[in-house]
């Protein structure tokens, strides 16, 4: 059986009012692996300490029985994480948060999301999300198919930039159709490791969950898993050991740019989840290593910004284009690389 994560939001599992927060069925080919490591690879923002605490309290169950954190997961095991309270992501609480709204009318809002802000509540991020802030500003937003108010699309926590939020059911339906039909326009700016050879190109490949690290997406060249993803890129500026590129999305898969660029050997700069927080290109000199570490400090996230967004207005029926400048952290790191490249011969 293929491993899957089934989240049952608020269904009590027993008379003790235990609520299932996570459910995983280990693949039949699963090699023995400690359950704390197994869960760290599958639950976002989970730490070994949190998992061990959960195990001590009996929250981690395998085949219906609580296990210790050193339990070795085997093929066919049914793993459940249960607590005495329902998942917090179902408790959508309005919060007075600072949100950069670049456009608003009766049908929609366009937001410039700051890096570090989660778009919607989830494990480990129950407050401070964009949705929490939007619910404070707007009394009622339409629910999408995943019961998330107003969301037509989303961007990762540590990616900055533009996204559109629907204020009415009609806007939700019309905008969702445009994203599905690939008639909307989205361009991102990314700083990637390495000197990208081609001036422009297209990465096309099926994207799905990594078979061993479920927090990563990966490309399946043979199309054996996942869904097709298409990313068009072109060079903006070559900076020696890194390259500044523009990416235009034709599809909108989870972590699409991050997975696609890694698949062609150009992982995003400081993308910790995909290995970009290591020095992937350059010299062995101590001064260079310190320079890169300084850049990591200036830009403590993946170097990715949703710069432009375009779509047909759902009721006005006119094309709308939005653009936002690169945030300070990305600009500072790019300027530092630009200065470094000017004084080096590659």
Could you give the residue numbers annotated as active site? 156
Identify whether the C-beta of residue 334 lies closer than 8 Å to the C-beta of residue 304: no
CA 261, 264, 269, 272 torsion-angle sign: positive
Which DSSP string corresponds to 38-52? HHHTTSTT--HHHHH
Chain centroid offset of residue 252 CA: 11
**Segments in the chain forming alpha helices (H):** 35-40, 48-56, 130-137, 169-181, 256-263, 286-298, 328-342
For the four alpha carbons of 76, 61, 67 and 14, in that order, the dihedral sign comes to negative
CA angle (157 as vertex; 208, 137 as ends), nearest 5: 125
CA distance 199 to 12: 56
């Amino acid at each position: 059986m293929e491993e899957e994560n089934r989240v049952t939001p608020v269904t009590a599992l027993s008379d003790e009012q235990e609520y299932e927060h996570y459910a995983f069925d280990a693949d039949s080919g699963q090699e023995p692996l400690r359950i704390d490591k197994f869960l760290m690879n599958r639950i976002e923002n989970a730490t070994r300490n949190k998992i061990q605490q959960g195990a001590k309290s009996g929250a981690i169950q395998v085949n219906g029985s609580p296990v210790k954190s050193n339990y070795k997961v085997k093929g066919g095991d049914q793993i459940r994480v249960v607590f005495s309270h329902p998942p917090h992501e179902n408790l959508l609480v309005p919060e007075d948060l600072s949100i950069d709204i670049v456009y608003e009318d009766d049908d929609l809002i366009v937001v410039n999301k700051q890096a570090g802000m989660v778009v919607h509540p989830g494990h480990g991020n129950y407050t401070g999300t964009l949705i929490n802030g939007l619910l404070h500003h707007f009394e009622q937003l339409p629910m999408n198919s995943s019961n998330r108010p107003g969301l037509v699309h989303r961007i990762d926590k540590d990616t900055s930039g533009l996204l559109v939020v629907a204020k009415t059911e009609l806007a939700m339906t019309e905008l969702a159709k445009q994203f599905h039909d690939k008639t909307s326009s989205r361009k991102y700016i990314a700083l990637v490791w390495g000197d990208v050879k081609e001036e422009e190109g297209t990465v096309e490949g099926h994207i799905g969950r990594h078979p061993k690290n479920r927090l990563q997406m990966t490309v399946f060249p043979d199309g054996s898993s996942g869904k097709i993803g298409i990313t068009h890129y072109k060079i903006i500026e070559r900076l020696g050991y890194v390259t500044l590129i523009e990416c235009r999305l034709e599809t909108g898969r989870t972590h699409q740019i991050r997975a696609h660029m890694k698949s062609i050997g150009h992982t995003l700069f400081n993308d910790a989840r995909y290995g970009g927080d290591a020095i992937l290109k350059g010299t062995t000199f101590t001064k260079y290593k310190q320079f890169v570490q300084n850049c990591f400090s200036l830009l403590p996230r993946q170097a990715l910004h949703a710069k432009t967004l375009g779509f047909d207005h759902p009721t006005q029926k006119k094309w709308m284009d939005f653009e936002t400048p690169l945030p300070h952290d990305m600009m500072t790191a790019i300027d530092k690389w630009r200065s470094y490249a000017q004084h080096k011969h590659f």
